[in-house]
Structure 1
Amino acid sequence: MHHLYDEKAAKKPTNLSINSDLLTKARQLNVNLSATLERALESELRRAEQAAWKRENHKAIDELNRLAEENGLFSDAYRKFG
């Protein structure tokens, strides 16, 4: 499986500035800020990598779609849906 980052890398302390009310409410609810930020960053990295891959491969994708439109797909004869 392709990992976006080294999940075993050491943790590094970081200073952040966030909305004070948001921080207060998160602390009141015992939200794990580090884990929440890591999940959010992973999600954003995944989204950014997917967008980059689509940009880098758009010509090939367009060409494959054009070929499929012109010639159909190998599996068309076996499709049971319309």
Structure 2
Amino acid sequence: MQVIDGPQANKSTVNISENEDLVAQTVEFGIDLATTLELAEASRERQRTQWLVDNQQAIDAYNRHVESNGAFSDGLRSF
């Protein structure tokens, strides 16, 4: 089975555009930029998941409202 994430995952070289000062600072501080980018993506995913958990009641209430009353734009759209 192919590993798609983690230290044993196959890596590809990519070019990215980033703030030069920030990149220089990461090199100066000895920060592994690739690992940092992976951690940033994991953090964003966790934030998205937590947002859904935190807002699930409101999402459910809105969906119930739309089921009962329709969407606010039902009378306005032409499709």
Which range, TM-score by smaller chain?
Answer: 0.5 to 0.7
TM-score (norm 1): 0.55
Per-residue deviation, residues 19-46 of structure 1 (Å, max 9, x unmatched)? 5xx6xx86xx6xxx82211111111101
Q: Which residue of 1 aligns with 2:71?
A: 73
TM-score (norm 2): 0.57
Q: Which residue of 2 aligns with 1:7?
A: none
CA distance in 2, matches of 1:37, 1:80: 49
Q: Which residue of 1 aligns with 2:33?
A: 35
Q: Which has the higher helix share?
A: 1
1:51 and 2:49 aligned: yes
CA distance in 2, matches of 1:79, 1:37: 47
1:80 CA displacement: 2.8
Number of equivalences:
55
Larger RCO (alpha carbons 8 Å, 6+ apart): 1
Percent of residue pairs bearing the same amino acid type:
31
User: Unaligned 5+ residue runs, structure 1?
Assistant: 1-17
1:71 CA displacement: 0.2
User: Unaligned 5+ residue runs, structure 2?
Assistant: 1-6, 14-30
